């Protein structure tokens, strides 16, 4: 090793350092192999997941004999057997959740470096907070298809995982869109999953599949439509109606795809500017003309004028085939439901997947939406992120290089908080560790891998700013259950793990995770029914302090008691406000240019301005200036655009030596390209290219400021 690195101190650091690898999947397999081959002697890998057949194509440490076993244990054993060189190599496997309370701050402090190879946001956020609390550097990573990213997080040195605000794992859709006006295949797939739950799973009124009369667009027709519903009959749930009809496939088919569609057509306001849906009756199947005919190719077929692959599960079913699959899967699911009780939809459950694929395509047909193959439905319904083994391999290598760079600059004598005036280590990490993007190569972007300086911490970050964040949460105390507030807001949105809710300024505990875990089954059932208004201390403008001792993290929350239309709030029962700006996962306007991007292409796409904006925005540290106010070139410089071309003209200020390069981000043929030019130079792009943003960094009156000018497409 000394011969390779030519640095005995680094060799010793590699041998002595303890690495925690969180996640033993696609990236995790590559990382543990690289660490052992590099010479790391103490590696711990933790993962709660077990090995599935679908993992075998890209997680090379596993084979068929390992299916059903712990990923962490198998990865540790196989990697140690094949890649550990020399004696005293310690590879530990932990089959558990990293969010378990037993893995506290002292656990994280026992490691030199933590590496994230996770696939969900909640766990990423938790590890981010624990590493900040323990003052242990974290290497964050991720991959999606051909794209990937690696960046280092160090307390007080670089932006943390949550510096860009709240993230969410899945996109949500308004209830009225799902139930009344679907326009995309995913809308129909979500509706089909809701139908599965209504018929065979835990009945959730919020996921009803019947036409939605609360839609604001049909408000003027509600009274008229309600007259058609008999007042002397108790409304039936979808399951009650299906059970009454013995889950008859023909009756259920006509109800879902004919009667309900005809009812929607009576909501005439919905179809003034939309394409009307077409009811589909069972009798129409006998005379349907949507049939697939063989094509000249042996690997494809022509269906409705389009050519589709004949590969298994990639064929587009005909309407008749959809009904047949729907009927057969309905019969099987009914039998399982009668034997086992409530079922849970799983993408790997063949019968459940067939049901959702058939139902979603039948609904898509009614609304004139593109139908999808079973393969595509599985990917969309299961929120499957495309994974490519070569991408994971590259990312795994980059992670290992970042770990080596960290060790070159870390002081291992202590994990204590760094002294305010001790900046040598921080500067070394800032200068040597990078934020790295892996992207597709194109004519306009020949580099497969691009690296940039680590972004500074966001001074307004809820997690790493060093202050107790204060946020406002608006909801209806008389309508929201306390358990929903805890699970949907604290756990899911704010990523708490073990919260205690107190009235600020007092020791009065309103709700505690530890106490909730010790409740009896009877007490738990009672707690589930409690509204927030049942807690006398919870009133409008009450100030709560939520503490998570495990994460060493606190938040001050001011509750605002207010009713609002859920459909206008993307179906959410709450609104979160911070610094007079609503937290959005896909925020259009960000208050800081120091942004961490967790996915290169998606992040750059999010920097586009809303087309409704009339002026471009130039952002400084804490303020927004209109571009027509930028007249003092000697003070802040100016970036001008040629109106009739795609040329960007950068006008420098008088002191060129204080100016740095300009980064231009543009989109070409659907791909993002990044170009750096000298300040004062020109950037020319193809006519079909969208200018996304221009970054400029220069010194202004001895204060360094960041400027970001965003420009819409130049017509």
Say if residues 684 and 676 touch (Cβ distance below 8 Å): no
Distance CA 131, CA 137 (A): 7
Question: Which pLDDT score, from 0 to 100, does residue 567 have?
Answer: 77
**475's tokens:** 């909801």
- CATH classification for the domain delimited by 175-381, as one of 3.20.20.100, 3.50.50.60, 3.40.50.720, 1.10.10.520: 1.10.10.520
**222's tokens:** 């509600």
Say if residues 92 and 44 touch (Cβ distance below 8 Å): yes
Q: Check 29, 131, 176, 303 and give the catalytic one.
A: 176
- CATH classification for the domain delimited by 470-578, as one of 1.50.10.10, 3.30.450.20, 3.10.290.20, 3.40.50.2300: 3.10.290.20
Beta bridge partners of 190: none
Question: Which pLDDT score, from 0 to 100, does residue 171 have?
Answer: 60
Neighbour count for residue 712 (Cβ, 10 Å) = 15
Q: What is the DSSP letter of 643?
A: T
Question: Helix, strand or coil for residue 383?
Answer: coil
Q: Which of 679, 498, 621, 470 minimizes the C-alpha distance to 557?
A: 470
Where would I find the H helices in 6-94? 8-16, 26-38, 71-83
Question: Which pLDDT score, from 0 to 100, does residue 240 have?
Answer: 86
CA angle 345, 376, 381 (to 5 degrees): 30
Q: Which of 438, 387, 398 minimizes the C-alpha distance to 145?
A: 387
Report the predicted TM-score, pTM, of the whole model to 2 decimal places: 0.61
What does the longest C-alpha to C-alpha distance in the chain come to?
A: 88
Instruction: List the end-to-end C-alpha distance of the chain, in Å, as a whole number.
Output: 57
Where would I find the H helices in 529-666? 600-606, 633-636
Beta bridge partners of 668: 671
Q: Which of 515, 528, 462 minimizes the C-alpha distance to 493?
A: 462
Asked if CATH classification 3.30.420.40 holds for the domain at 2-166+385-453, the reply, yes or no, is no
Residue 254 belongs to what H/E stretch? Answer: helix 249-254
Cβ-proximal residues to 665 (8 Å cutoff; 6+ apart), any chain: 604, 607, 672, 673, 674, 692, 693, 694, 695
Q: Which residues are annotated as a binding site for Zn(2+)?
A: 160, 163, 461, 464
Distance CA 45, CA 282 (A): 54
Neighbour count for residue 419 (Cβ, 10 Å) = 7
Q: What is the DSSP letter of 531?
A: B
At 37, give phi and psi (nearest 5°).
-70, -30
Identical fold between 2-166+385-453 and 175-381: no
Q: Which residues of the chain have pLDDT under 70?
A: 1-6, 165-172, 205-206, 212-235, 286-312, 384, 411-424, 442-445, 518, 579-715
Question: Helix, strand or coil for residue 512?
Answer: strand
Q: Which residues are annotated as a binding site for ATP?
A: 23-28, 47, 55-58, 71, 97-98, 119-124
The count of residues in the chain is 715
Cβ-proximal residues to 565 (8 Å cutoff; 6+ apart), any chain: 216
Question: Which pLDDT score, from 0 to 100, does residue 2 have?
Answer: 55
Q: Is there a catalytic annotation at residue 624?
A: no
Domain ranges of the chain: 2-166+385-453, 175-381, 470-578, 607-710
Q: What is the DSSP string of 358-381?
A: HHHHHHHHHTTPPP--HHHHHHHH
């Amino acid at each position: 090793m000394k011969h390779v690195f030519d640095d005995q101190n680094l060799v010793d650091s590699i041998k002595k350092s303890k690495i925690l690898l969180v996640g033993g999947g696609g990236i995790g397999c590559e990382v543990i192999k690289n660490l052992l081959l590099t010479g790391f002697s103490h590696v711990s890998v933790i993962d709660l997941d077990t090995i599935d057949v679908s993992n075998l194509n890209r997680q090379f440490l596993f084979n068929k004999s390992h299916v059903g076993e712990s990923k962490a244990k198998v990865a540790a054993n196989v990697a140690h057997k094949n890649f550990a060189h020399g004696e005293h190599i310690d590879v530990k496997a932990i089959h558990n959740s990293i969010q378990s309370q037993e893995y506290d701050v002292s656990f994280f402090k026992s490691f030199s470096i933590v590496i994230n190879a996770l696939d969900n946001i909640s766990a990423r956020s938790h590890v981010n907070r624990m590493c900040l609390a323990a003052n242990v550097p974290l290497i964050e990573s991720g991959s999606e298809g051909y794209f990937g990213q690696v960046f280092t997080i160090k307390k007080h040195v670089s932006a943390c995982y949550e510096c860009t605000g709240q993230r969410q794992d899945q996109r949500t859709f308004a209830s009225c869109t799902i139930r009344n006006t679907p326009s995309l295949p995913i809308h129909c797939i979500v509706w089909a999953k809701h139908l599965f739950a209504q018929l065979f799973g835990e009945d959730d009124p919020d996921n009803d599949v019947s036409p939605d009369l609360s839609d604001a667009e049909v408000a003027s027709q509600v009274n008229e439509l309600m007259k058609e519903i008999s007042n002397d009959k108790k409304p039936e749930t979808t399951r009650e109606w299906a059970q009454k009809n013995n889950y008859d496939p023909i009756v259920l088919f006509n109800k879902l795809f004919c009667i309900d569609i005809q009812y929607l057509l009576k909501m005439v306001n919905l179809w003034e500017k939309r394409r009307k849906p077409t009811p589909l009756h069972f009798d129409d199947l006998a005379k349907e003309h949507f049939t697939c005919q063989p094509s000249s190719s042996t690997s494809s077929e022509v269906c409705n004028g389009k050519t589709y692959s004949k590969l298994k599960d990639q064929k587009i079913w005909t309407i008749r085939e959809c009904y047949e699959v729907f009927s057969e899967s309905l019969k099987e699911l009914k039998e399982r439901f009668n034997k086992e009780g409530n079922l849970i939809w799983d993408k790997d459950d063949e019968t459940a997947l067939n049901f959702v694929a058939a139902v979603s395509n039948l609904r898509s047909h009614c609304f004139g939406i593109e139908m999808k193959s079973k393969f595509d439905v599985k990917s969309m319904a299961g929120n499957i992120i495309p994974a490519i083994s070569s991408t994971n391999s590259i990312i795994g290598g980059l992670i290992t290089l970042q770990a080596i760079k960290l060790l070159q600059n870390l002081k291992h004598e202590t994990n204590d908080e760094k002294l305010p005036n001790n900046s040598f280590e921080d500067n070394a990490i800032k200068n040597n560790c990078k934020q790295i993007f892996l992207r597709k190569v194109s004519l306009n972007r020949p580099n497969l891998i691009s690296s940039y300086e680590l972004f500074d911490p966001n001074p307004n970050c809820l997690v790493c700013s060093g202050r107790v964040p204060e946020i406002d949460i608006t909801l209806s105390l008389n309508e929201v259950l306390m358990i929903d507030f805890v699970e949907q807001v604290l756990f899911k949105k704010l990523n708490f793990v073990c919260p205690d809710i107190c009235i600020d300024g007092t020791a009065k505990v309103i709700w505690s995770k530890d106490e909730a875990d010790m409740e009896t089954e009877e007490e738990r059932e009672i707690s589930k029914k409690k509204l927030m208004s049942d807690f006398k201390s919870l009133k409008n403008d009450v100030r709560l302090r939520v503490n998570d001792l495990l994460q060493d993290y606190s938040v001050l929350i001011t509750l605002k008691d207010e009713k609002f239309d859920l459909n206008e709030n993307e179906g959410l029962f709450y609104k979160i406000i911070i610094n007079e700006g609503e937290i959005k996962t896909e925020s259009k306007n960000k208050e800081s240019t120091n942004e961490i991007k967790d996915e290169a292409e998606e992040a750059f796409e999010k920097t586009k301005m809303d087309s409704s904006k009339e002026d471009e925005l130039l952002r400084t540290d804490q303020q927004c200036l209109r571009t027509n106010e930028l007249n003092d070139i000697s003070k802040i410089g100016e970036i001008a655009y040629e109106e009739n071309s795609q040329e960007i003209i950068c006008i420098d200020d008088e002191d060129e030596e204080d100016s740095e390069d300009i980064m231009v981000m543009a989109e070409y043929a659907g791909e993002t390209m990044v170009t750096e030019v000298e300040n004062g130079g020109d950037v020319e792009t193809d006519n079909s290219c969208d200018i996304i943003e221009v970054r400029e960094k220069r010194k202004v009156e001895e204060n360094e400021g960041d400027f970001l000018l965003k420009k819409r497409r130049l017509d």
